[in-house]
Amino acid sequence: MAVLASSDLARATRRPIVSNGVDAHLTTLIGANRYATAPDAPPPPGPEAVYPMAFLVEQPPGSVVATHFHEANQFQVVVAGTGHLGSHPIAPVAVHYSNAFSAYGPIAAGPEGLHYLTLRNGYDRGARYLPAARPELRGVRRRFRDAFSDPTPIAATPPEAATAEPLLPTAPDGMGAWRHRLPPGATATGPDPASGDGQFWVVTAGSLQGPDGAPLPPLSCAFVGPEEPPFVATAGAEGLEVVVVQYPRGRDHLAAEAAT
C-alpha cells in the first residue's frame, strides 16, 4: 500500500536546523532523517532496502549550501522561492535528480529564500560536504548522474480537462518525472511502479483525495513502492496539480550481489 503523508499533520515536525553553517528549517513527512529519529527507532536499513524519505527544507534568503553528495538516490522538487543549484536557475516547479554519491551544488537561495522537498528511496545519513568528505568517495561503486527540469509555474486555477506533461524525459531504466493537472474529481493513473525503483507523488496545488476521503493539501506526498500496483490519484474539490518522480531500476552504488 502506498505511504501517504499530509503536510498539515507534518507541520508539527517543523524544526530549526543548522546544515553546513546555514540556519534553515526542516519538516519531516515520511521516514527518519538525522534531524528526526525517535530514541527507540530500529537501526536504519541497509543501502539495498527500499526506504522512503521525504522532508521539506526551507533555506533562508541569500544562504548558500556547499556542494555535497548523498548515499542514496535522490529527487528534489522546488516548491517556493528562487535560487540556483550550481549554474542552473531554479524556481517552482523545478525537479532535480542525482544518483547516490553524485556531488551537486552549491544550492544558493535567492532574495525570497528557497523551499524544496527532498525525496529519497533509500536511507541516507545526511549530506557529505566537499571538499572535506572527498576521501569517502574513494573506492565507492558509483556512476555520476544528475538531471534538471526547467521551472514550470504552478497554475492559478484547475484545468477544464486532465493534462499530463513530462518534466524529465523517461530514461531506459525508468527514471523520469511528470506533472498531472486535474479538474475536481478527475483521476490520473501513474506509470507501472515495476518499471522503476519507487515513486513519489507530490501535491503542488489543489488537493489529493485520500483513501479515507480527507483531502491532502499542497506539499503532501505519497510514496509508491516498486512492488505496488499503479497509483491512481483522485483530485479533490479544488482540482489537483501533482508532480510524479520515479527512481531508476537498480542502484549503481551497490555491488551486483547486493542489488539483486
- Within 8 A by CB and 6+ apart from 184, the residues are 158, 235, 236, 237, 238, 239
223 in Cβ contact with 54 (< 8 Å) = yes
Instruction: Give the pLDDT confidence score for residue 20 in this predicted structure.
Output: 87
Residue 213 confidence class, pLDDT cut points 50, 70, 90: confident
The C-alpha cell 555535497 sits at: 68
5 in Cβ contact with 54 (< 8 Å) = yes
Whether the pLDDT of residue 106 is over 60: the answer is: yes
Residue 258 confidence class, pLDDT cut points 50, 70, 90: very low
Whether the pLDDT of residue 60 is over 90: the answer is: yes
Separation CA 260–CA 257 (nearest Å): 6
Whether the pLDDT of residue 36 is over 90: the answer is: no
pLDDT, the chain, mean? 93
Separation CA 57–CA 54 (nearest Å): 10
Q: What average pLDDT score do residues 51-77 get?
A: 97
Domains by residue range for the chain, with CATH? 3-39+46-148 (2.60.120.10), 163-246 (2.60.120.10)
Mapped onto helix, strand or coil, the DSSP state of residue 10 is helix
* Residue-wise pLDDT tens digits, 149-202: 999 999 889 999 999 999 999 999 999 999 999 999 999 999 999 999 999 999
Residue 260 confidence class, pLDDT cut points 50, 70, 90: very low
Instruction: Give the pLDDT confidence score for residue 109 in this predicted structure.
Output: 98
Nearest alpha-carbon partner for 28 in 120, 139, 145: 120
* Residue-wise pLDDT tens digits, 215-249: 999 999 999 999 999 999 999 999 999 999 999 99
The C-alpha cell 537561495 sits at: 109
Whether the pLDDT of residue 259 is over 70: the answer is: no
Between 213 and 149, whose confidence is greater? 149
